[in-house]
Amino acid sequence: MTQISTATMALQGMKVIEMGQLIAGPFASKMLGEFGADVIKIEPPGVGDPLRKWRKIKDGTSLWWHVQSRNKRSLTLNLKEREAQDIVRQLIAEADVLVENFRPGTLEGWGLGYDDLKQINPRLIMLRISGYGQTGPYRDLPGFGVIGEAMGGLRHLSGYPGQAPVRVGISIGDSLSSLYGVIGVLLALQERQRSGLGQEIDVALYESVFAMMESLVPEYDAFGHIREPAGSALPGITPSNSYPCNDGTYVLIAGNGDSIYKRLMSLIGRDDLGNDPRLEQNDGRSEHAEMIDAAIAEWTALRSRDEVIDALKAARVPAGYPYTAADIVKDPHYLARQMIETVQTSAGPLKVPGVLPKLSRTPGRLGNGGPQLGEHSYNILAGLGLNDEQVNGLRERGII
């Protein structure tokens, strides 16, 4: 991706303080930083964000770190110490946004809750992401993404009937919460233009997952229906499933549009099903999903994955197959849309995902990989007016 001057960035001039760790809070500030915000990430001295040691490690640092923390500056502070809390207050005085994902009440215990900080900076927007939200009977319980996915309804729908629920192979609950958090920040920034005031944004992991559950609750309310896991199928939307090929692979076919369904049935030689009046629309097809899926599987099982995909593309039927990382990094469409880019990191050049969303006039920036622990502490503190002697004193006392 072409490196973009911050003068052309959508969030140019915005100052963001990140007081969080691992995924939900840092993912949100990552997105803000990709569009020009100056993100100062506060980490505990000596150890830093635990994400630095998660997943695969190269040269002592997580490769995930270089995605999650790009475009950020690292400042180490021991937030349990009063002097560190005072530095946070100085930073907040000039900040637009504070992002935090501590357990509710933690910042209040340090005198850094929203009611305290808005006295310093009434324009401050504070994004708070937690397992259960800032209120309610569960607010004090620890909550990670996996728990949010369970309580939000996603885990019950994942997997096959009669088997243990499975998880999506990524931290989807955290990431969904981050996206809602960024939406909240942008809404609050828009409103601040009218009122001149900031506000507090309360995002709960379980609620972010629950918001994705489509018609789960109204179906229960109207019919007492409890949706159950259905493996690779999409209940009530037919045909939409995975189907075996003769080379041991699977294809995913979404033939659930009425005209698409007819084209699919014609392609597989089943015009009898394509012209059956019972199956003209989705509700009728869903009543006979097993019959339709069996017909499609019978056709795909005689062909290789590539043969199936080519035939479906020619018939204008949406189809694909499960991509691995190896498929992604060489796919011409990914490359044409700059979704695989290379950044410079402390571990050398590294391929990483590109920036989303794609803005035509003020696009995001790729920047460099995640910062080393405390890499920018001196410059940040000097910007607050601290001299060398003061900074060294803070370091000697374990404040930074």
Q: What is the pLDDT of residues 115-130, one digit of tens each?
A: 999 999 999 999 999 9
CATH number belonging to domain 6-211+334-396: 3.40.50.10540
Helices (H), the chain: 24-34, 65-68, 82-93, 106-109, 114-120, 145-151, 154-157, 172-195, 205-210, 216-223, 258-267, 271-274, 282-287, 289-300, 305-314, 325-330, 332-336, 377-383, 388-396
Span 31-59, pLDDT tens digits:
999 999 999 999 999 999 999 999 999 99
Angle at 367 between CA 363 and CA 373, to 5 degrees: 140
pLDDT, mean of residues 96-108: 97
* Mean pLDDT over the full length of the chain: 95
| Structure confidence by residue, pLDDT tens digits, 150-194 | 999 999 999 999 999 988 889 999 999 999 999 999 999 999 999
Q: From 17, 127, 27, 144, select the one nearest 73 (Cα to Cα).
A: 17
pLDDT of residue 308: 98
Active-site position among 38, 49, 96, 174: 174
CATH code assigned to 240-244+250-320: 3.30.1540.10
pTM of this structure: 0.92
Residues present in the chain in total: 400
pLDDT band at 4 (very low <50, low <70, confident <90, very high): very low
Q: Where are the domains of the chain?
A: 6-211+334-396, 240-244+250-320
Concatenated DSSP letters of 14-49 = -EEEEE--SSHHHHHHHHHHHTT-EEEEEE-TTT--
At 234, list the tokens.
């999409």
pLDDT at 335 over 50: yes
pLDDT band at 7 (very low <50, low <70, confident <90, very high): low
Task: Spell out the long-range contacts of 81-87 with Cβ–Cβ below 8 A and sequence spacing 24 or more.
Answer: 81/397, 81/398, 81/399, 83/394, 83/397, 83/399, 84/399, 84/400, 85/110, 85/111, 85/112, 87/381, 87/384, 87/399
Mean pLDDT of 263-292: 97
Q: Is the pLDDT of residue 1 over 90?
A: no
Give the percent of the chain with pLDDT over 90: 92
pLDDT at 2 over 60: no
262 bridge partner residues? none
62 bridge partner residues: 57
CB–CB of 238/282 below 8 Å? yes
Note if 174 is an active site residue. Answer: yes
Burial of 91 (0-12, 13-18, 19+ CB in 10 A): buried
Please name the residues in contact with 94: beta carbons below 8 A apart, sequence gap of 6 or more.
15, 121
Indicate whether 5 pLDDT > 90: no
Residue 339 has pLDDT above 80, yes or no: yes
- Residue 307, pLDDT > 50, answer yes
pLDDT band with cut points at 50, 70 and 90 for residue 91: very high
Cβ atoms of 198 and 120 within 8 Å: the answer is no
pLDDT at 294 over 80: yes
